[in-house]
Amino acid sequence: MLFQESTMSVDLSSIRTRWRPDSRFIAILLMIAGVAAFTFVDTISKSLTARYPPVMLMFLQYGLAAAIMLPVAMRLGVSGFRLRAPRLLLMRSILGVLVTFLIVTALSMLPFTVAAALFQLETFFFIPMAMILLKEKADWRRWVAVCFGLAGAFLILRPGTEAFQAAGLVAIGAAIALAAKNVVLKRVAMSEATVPALFWMYTLMTAIAAIPAMLQWTPLTLADFGLFLLSAFLVNASNYCMLKAFAMADAVQLTPAFHTGLPIAVLVGLVVFGEWPQPIVWAGIGLIFLATFMPSGKRA
């Protein structure tokens, strides 16, 4: 009987060891959670763009996000505010303002599903940036994925249409800015603690957007303030998960997880906004989805 109990304990111990997740797997789950939170922020922003100018959305979202992070930073004392690379964080904040402005503008001009699909092109700009600036590796499969992604964007935009000439280009600009922002975010994750990085990033973004927001201020309803507060919590959750993920794995390894927001965005577009994309748009979304989840091969 004792022999059986000891054997069982050994077996259970080996099972626990065998199923222990590695840091890369945890990083992928964190990135998926961050992308999902970011997609829900876009959903709230889409509903608010009909009533408020983009710069006001930025100011309130990031101002409230900084207010949420302040007591967390204060609990940590001096370490909750200490920065190692303030110039890098300033660059990330400037890019964050640009990204938010382009995303909110694109959401106000395009159907939610189309805009969200075009934001997914971030990966195909992110990979070459990560290779050049972060010295990471990407094999030929990643480059084939880039071609599929661009073909998907071509189907969605359809050159010659109004979307291609204006709103679609704004969405592609947002994707490029997103890629640059996440490259810098990876650098921030490698050099800064999470809490001070988030607090100062939101504070700087709020300060950058403050004067333009005051010039375009629109009276705020209590219900909409609740939506802004919810989006601020989601902004914190998204950036926290992404910073942790970037600290645990290479950026190129995490690129497939960037675009798990695509099926979420399609579902949100159908359920919340009642948007059913045209067949050619579905084809473009399918190509982007295929490119996103193509195997990347073994790392060099």
Which residue stretches of 19-111 are H helix?
23-48, 54-75, 86-109
Rounded to 5 degrees, what angle do the CA atoms 231, 277, 46 make? 20
8-state DSSP, 21: P
- Does some domain include residue 248? yes
Query: What are the tens digits of pLDDT across the range 80-124?
Result: 899 888 888 888 888 988 988 898 888 888 888 778 778 877 877
- Does some domain include residue 5? no
Q: Look at residue 2 in the predicted model and tell me its pLDDT.
A: 47
- Does some domain include residue 36? yes
Query: In terms of pLDDT, which residue wins out, 193 or 140?
Result: 193
- Does some domain include residue 16? no
Structural domain of 222? 29-293
Rounded to 5 degrees, what angle do the CA atoms 45, 48, 54 make? 70
Nearest to 52 by CA among 224, 172, 193: 224
How high is the mean pLDDT of the chain?
79
Q: Look at residue 181 in the predicted model and tell me its pLDDT.
A: 87
Q: Look at residue 6 in the predicted model and tell me its pLDDT.
A: 47
Q: Could you give the percent of the chain with pLDDT greater than 90?
A: 23
- Does some domain include residue 24? no
Query: What are the tens digits of pLDDT across the range 141-188?
Result: 666 766 776 677 667 656 555 545 677 888 889 889 988 988 888 888
Reduced to 3 DSSP states, what percent helix, strand and coil does the chain have, rounded to the nearest 5?
Answer: 80, 0, 20
Residue 230 confidence (pLDDT) above 80: yes
- Does some domain include residue 10? no
Please list, in sequence order, all residues whose beta carbon lies within 8 angstroms of the beta carbon of residue 190, skipping any fewer than 6 positions away: 246, 247
Nearest to 107 by CA among 34, 37, 181, 171: 171
- Does some domain include residue 89? yes
Number of domains forming the structure of the chain: 1
> Could you tell me how many helices (H) and strands (E) the chain has, helices first?
14, 0
- Does some domain include residue 136? yes
Q: Look at residue 17 in the predicted model and tell me its pLDDT.
A: 44
Cα–Cα distance, 176 to 124 (Å, whole number): 9
Cα–Cα distance, 220 to 75 (Å, whole number): 31
Rounded to 5 degrees, what angle do the CA atoms 165, 158, 276 make? 105
